[in-house]
Chains A and B, each alone.
Chain A
Amino acid sequence: MLNLLSRPFRGGIHPESYKTLTNGSGIDRFFWPRNVFLSLQLRNGATLTPLVKAGDSVTRGQLIASGRNDMVAPLHAPVNGIVTGITPHFSSHPSKVKCDTIIIRANSDRRWGETHPQQNYLALSSEQIIERVREAGIVGLGGAGFPTVVKLQFARKGGAHTLVINGGECEPYLTCDDVAMQEYAPEIIAGVKLLMIASGTKKAIIGVEDNKPNALAQLTSAASEDDAIEVRAAPSIYPMGSERHLIKFLTGAEVPTGGHAGMVGVLVHNIATARAVYQATRFRRPLVSRVITVSGKGIGAPRNVEVPVGTPVNEVIEYCGGVKESTSRLLFGGPMMGQVISSPYIPIDKTVGGILALTDDEVKTREQTECIRCGQCVRACPMGLMPFQMAAYARLSDFSKTEELGVNHCLSCGACSYVCPASLPLVQYFQFAKGSINANRLKAQRSATARALNEERVQRLEREAAAKAAAKAAKAAARKARPARGKVKETEND
């Protein structure tokens, strides 16, 4: 009851955290891959143009692929080595769809190609920092992978006043942000300062769940000199790391339904992103590696590892002691919102925060039964939706009704499926409904384009017919004027 009253937002759950598997030891920086695979297509479908070809040798940090605009962050070589080919390969997408991938065979040299340390980096202007962030190809490292440069520009234009740094890390198992905060607190604070300059925000609040006391202590002491930066403990409740819910807890503002953080004057970045911004600005090092948690009861030696982007899953798992017999699922990210790894050769992209090997004991897969309308999902939903009703309509493929119930506001956080006593795959119903709604929209667009093209064509044909008729009439008129000559010509033509 007390627990209920002190909740920072409605809904939410308290899953078993399993964080002690990895939060005790530091970051392992000794891993180095044999090959890296850099997908040229992002999860949202945008593509990159490769700037290297097979046989080229590349140095760590060299630009190797660029996007069409700021929405597509450029790619840099994460290792020194030789490009062995650009061929279709698995990407970190659940569909097993293959897309063009730059494959680099790494050599053991770990030095950076060329970096230019920047003295007095805090004196840089907003534009300069944004430019460095753009060059470095930084995307949100919390999981969504939205290009940081776009967010910064947007916040500047929108006049955001508060920078929220997300140290929630509410997913069970994951501790990569936790250990990063413990080990890199000064770098993170420096990154926060840079982000504040770049975005023009006057105040920064770092929200960290209270189950990470060491991280909180480190950040508090690192930020103690700056009055504009506040470090605050947030209650440990899933999904505290959700942008909307963290903003609500830290600032009291509620992001409007269907809206974004900018509407309440807030800009949100992840802890790891702040550090990447520091690295990019201070050393001009592009984003080519990240800290990930390799955990779960199925992993031989769970730990946090710094891995170059593009490393395939099997190499990382091998490094961390391999998987045990009892493993039933490999996942990217946490168990709540993570994705099934559908092949061990899938590479890690910039947005992956962890690799989990879960045993049956942890997954607790059970036969699904009928919904008993117990309402647990309704009380667990942090967005105030009615999951069981949405799932019932999605099951009937009644998407207009599902949409009306607010399926598009669903975060896919999985709190409903977690509590469901009937083990219904609620989240998959919502993913299915969202996908179908989107597909129908695309189809409707295609239809509309077709219709417009058809109308244009009909008009064009009419114009052509009219022009032909006019030409014929003109010809006839000309023939009338000079009958003799015209007649000769016509016979000739025949």
Chain B
Amino acid sequence: MIDFEPKAGPFAHTSNTSSRIMYTVVLTLLPAALMGIYQFGLASLQTILVCSVIAIVTEYLCLKLMGRAANACMDGSALLTGLLLAMSLPATVPMWLAGFGSAFAIIVGKQIYGGLGQNLFNPAMLARVMLLICFPVEMTNWAVPTPIDFSGNQVAVPQGWLQFDGVTAATPLSGLSHEPVSIVAQFLGLGGGSLGETSALLILLGGAVLLYRRIIHWAIPLSFVLGLCVPAAIASLIAPESFSSPLVQLFSGGAMLGAFYIATDLVTSPTSVRGQLIYGGACGALIWLIRSFGNYPEGVAFAVLIVNAASPLIDHYLRPSVFGSKSMARKS
């Protein structure tokens, strides 16, 4: 059937879709998530599943309530939000807390702004910060990595689905100056921490795929890493006893996840390259400041939310220069 109705072009299109972008990001996150499951046991699988399912169900209910096409809940964005939240939680959080956080992320973090593409803040980080402030005890109950022993003798066995009695300890960040952690171990992901944040290597690999597929742009990860490492390097050179080295900063906590997956969130980051450089740099520097001088040991979520708020402003003031505007300025 030939369609003669006038329509403006173009009549060619990439095969890329928003949904494909979302699912690609989810896929590249899976290795790090699997690492989390391996390290912290089946409880982490439980957390991941609860967060993802609750996110999708909440999204479905919200879309229904607002009278929108409810099948959009499967576009991958809700799943991604749930997964990112799960990965930033301690592996041993109670299920009700994970589910509550996930629903909060979708409702308050995304849908009240008008749904996909409208939210100001990263929903997963908003939920994480809310949980951290409301439930500080549960949120800082870090499980010591007790890898699944495939011979069947697990050390930390979840005792029933709702009670997990893992061994807990401080995260490397909260005890930075006391017991130095091997950087290599952290890079590989053998240290403690949140469920999916431990293995810098796997996150880096996932991020490389995203860069290669042009889903994220190099500007944010690069400036993020520089923003975090440059002040850290200077400070640790001046006072090595009170500041940790840039590599420790980079490979511990949520820094790598933040650089490749959270700060680069498409909806809440600026769109121009110049804007992204400033945004990423500010985010990295803020993380270092919060970690070094703040009350909380980890600053990724706070830093991301702060720069998210600045993102519209950055987009407004740092537009790309229009073709020919420079030569026009020279003329006049």
Direct A–B contact present (CB less than 8 angstroms): yes
Identify the A interface with B (CB < 8 A): 1, 9-10, 15-16, 94-96, 172, 244-245, 253-259, 263-264, 323, 327-331, 335-343, 356-358, 362-366, 369-376, 378-379, 381-386, 388-389, 405-406, 409, 412, 414, 417-423, 425, 427-428, 431
* Proximity bits, B267-279, A CB within 8 Å = 1, else 0: 1111111001000
**Nearest CB of B to A391, in Å:** 12
A423 touches B17 (CB 8 A): yes
Instruction: Report the nearest B residue to A338, measured CB to CB.
Output: B9
Identify the B interface with A (CB < 8 A): 1-21, 72, 75, 77, 115-118, 214-215, 217-218, 266-273, 276, 315, 319-328, 331
Residue numbers in A under 8 Å from B75 (CB-CB): 369
**Nearest CB of A to B177, in Å:** 39
Given contacts A257-B328, A342-B4, A363-B13, 7 further A-B contacts (CB under 8 A): A95-B6, A369-B75, A370-B18, A370-B115, A373-B268, A374-B215, A419-B16
**Nearest CB of B to A272, in Å:** 21
**Nearest CB of A to B328, in Å:** 4
Known: A369-B72, A371-B117, A382-B323. A418 touches B5 (CB 8 A): no
Known: A340-B4, A378-B320. A423 touches B327 (CB 8 A): no
B10 touches A369 (CB 8 A): no
A374 touches B6 (CB 8 A): no
Known: A254-B323, A371-B117, A373-B271. A336 touches B2 (CB 8 A): no
Residue numbers in B under 8 Å from A385 (CB-CB): 320, 322
Instruction: Report the nearest A residue to B325, measured CB to CB.
Output: A257
Instruction: Supply 24 A–B pairs (Cβ within 8 Å), ascending by A.
Output: A244-B323, A254-B324, A254-B326, A256-B328, A263-B331, A328-B1, A330-B2, A331-B9, A335-B10, A336-B10, A342-B5, A362-B12, A364-B13, A372-B266, A382-B323, A383-B322, A384-B321, A386-B271, A409-B323, A417-B9, A418-B14, A419-B14, A419-B16, A423-B17
Instruction: Report the nearest A residue to B323, measured CB to CB.
Output: A383
Known: A338-B9, A418-B10. A256 touches B2 (CB 8 A): no
**Nearest CB of A to B141, in Å:** 35
Residue numbers in A under 8 Å from B267 (CB-CB): 372-373
Known: A369-B72, A379-B217, A383-B323. A339 touches B21 (CB 8 A): no
In the bound assembly, the distance between CA atoms of A256 and B205 in angstroms comes to 43
Residue numbers in B under 8 Å from A341 (CB-CB): 4
**Nearest CB of A to B51, in Å:** 21
In the bound assembly, the distance between CA atoms of A386 and B312 in angstroms comes to 13
3 tightest A-B CB contacts, nearest first? A414-B10, A375-B271, A428-B8
B271 touches A406 (CB 8 A): no
**Nearest CB of A to B265, in Å:** 9
B322 touches A330 (CB 8 A): no
A427 touches B9 (CB 8 A): yes
Residue numbers in B under 8 Å from A417 (CB-CB): 9-10, 13
**Nearest CB of A to B206, in Å:** 18
Which of the residues B4, B8, B21, B117 comes within 8 Å of A431, measured between beta carbons?
B8
In the bound assembly, the distance between CA atoms of A408 and B9 in angstroms comes to 17
**Nearest CB of B to A70, in Å:** 27
Residue numbers in B under 8 Å from A372 (CB-CB): 18, 21, 77, 116-117, 266-267
Interface centre among A245, A338, A372 (most CB of B within 10 A): A372
Residue numbers in B under 8 Å from A327 (CB-CB): 2
Residue numbers in B under 8 Å from A257 (CB-CB): 322-325, 328
Residue numbers in B under 8 Å from A244 (CB-CB): 323-324
Residue numbers in A under 8 Å from B18 (CB-CB): 369-370, 372, 374, 421-422
Known: A337-B9, A338-B9, A374-B266. A256 touches B324 (CB 8 A): yes
**Nearest CB of B to A259, in Å:** 7
A340 touches B5 (CB 8 A): yes
A425 touches B8 (CB 8 A): yes
**Nearest CB of B to A415, in Å:** 8
In the bound assembly, the distance between CA atoms of A244 and B328 in angstroms comes to 13
A421 touches B20 (CB 8 A): yes
Instruction: Report the nearest B residue to A372, measured CB to CB.
Output: B117
